[in-house]
Amino acid sequence: VVGVSEAGYDLKMLPKVSSGEAVEIYTGAPLPSGADSVVMAEFCKRDGDRVWVSRPVACMQNISLRGEDFKAGELVVARGVKLKPWHIGALASLGITNILVYRRPKVLIASTGLELKQLGSEDNQGKIYDSTRPMLKALLKSINCTVLDLGILPDEPAYIAEAISKHLDSADLAVITGGTSLGLRDVTPEALNMLEESKLVFHGVRMRPGKPTGAYVAKGKLIFMLSGFPVASFIAFKVFIEPTIHAMMGSKPDPQPTVRAYITRRLAKPTGVKAYVRVRIYRSQDGFYAEPLRLTGSGILSTLTRGNGILTLDEEVEGVDEGEEVEVLLTQAFE
């Protein structure tokens, strides 16, 4: 035994190991030049300056090679990958302290609707609290967006157009909720039409809920119009806004948890319309069951808080029979 190598020792200070020689070495320590394998301490017996080895050892055994994890010049994290803890670890292992990332998208958000009052308001004139905007803000933040909140705008096309126009330059995308149906007081399309360089992209989708979803482009920025009803705007967010934001960032969404479950009762739907049914998944002895919550009621938030899954039924599907197996997107933990 001609020396010792401990973690953090300088390789240049270590003895050269020749045939018939060994050094005492610890986990993480550099391998002295000339040595070509490591034997575990359990299989060695020290006897003064000699060591008895009780097991055969293969060449290069118990040695970690330089570059065995990442080789010089190798791509470690590709553009568009969402950084996960193990990417942080991989970058740290290579001594990389700074990398270029895309900045968070800035999203302008506003509500319209005479029936709305701001959370915290003491107004008792038959108004309802604006719940869609706080929910959308939380959804946007959950996919790493920065939110510029314009609050509740009055139902005046010129006022809405001016408010959006004033802030559109400092945002990457805008979302307006309410006023997008076909009623007399639904002024959002009219307002967006008044914007400079404005162009309708689409308005009205064969989906349920979320039928009045639409979008304009103005000054190169997409402006989504969502239903004021919270469940409809949640579905439209998942179907339109989330994929748009991922496309803008060049990133892929995280994988979505799904479960296969038996439907507890027959569901009928019109063909030609894509349906997003809120369901409650529960575990039973013979597998998972999906109980459909009410199909209608795009304002009924309790279908999301009591439910834990979304079942998508395609345009051509007429319905699902009781006991049929379906695949459900899980939105939260279940019993």
The residues in 53-82 that bind a copy of itself, with binding defined as CB under 8 A, are 64, 68-70, 76-77, 81-82
Comparing CB distances to a copy of itself, the nearer of 140 and 223 is 140
Q: How far is the CB of 217 from a copy of itself (least distance, A)?
A: 26
Of positions 45, 84, 206, 283, contacts a copy of itself by CB under 8 A: 84
Q: How far is the CB of 196 from a copy of itself (least distance, A)?
A: 29
The footprint of a copy of itself on this chain (CB under 8 A) covers a number of residues equal to 81
Largest CA-CA distance found in the chain, in angstroms, rounded? 98
Residue 226's closest CA among 210, 244, 242, 207? 210
Q: How far is the CB of 298 from a copy of itself (least distance, A)?
A: 11
Which amino acid does the sequence have at 309?
G
Cβ atoms of 225 and 192 within 8 Å: the answer is: yes
By CB under 8 A, tell whether 217 contacts a copy of itself.
no
By CB under 8 A, tell whether 257 contacts a copy of itself.
yes
By CB under 8 A, tell whether 120 contacts a copy of itself.
yes
- In the numeric block, which tokens belong to residue 225? 């119009």
Distance CA 293, CA 301 (A): 11
Stretch that binds a copy of itself, among 115-123, 159-167, 169-177, 265-273 (CB under 8 A): 115-123
Which amino acid does the sequence have at 161?
A
231-266: buried (b, 16+ CB within 10 Å) or exposed (e) per residue? bbbbbbbbbbbbebbbeebebeeeeeeebebbbbee
Helix, strand or coil for residue 272? coil
Comparing CB distances to a copy of itself, the nearer of 100 and 184 is 184
- In the numeric block, which tokens belong to residue 52? 């008895």
Of positions 19, 54, 97, 170, contacts a copy of itself by CB under 8 A: 97
Cβ atoms of 275 and 322 within 8 Å: the answer is: no
By CB under 8 A, tell whether 247 contacts a copy of itself.
no
Residues in contact with a copy of itself, shown as a per-residue x/- string from 5 to 34 under the rule CB under 8 A? -xxxxxx--------------xxxxx----
Distance CA 130, CA 134 (A): 8
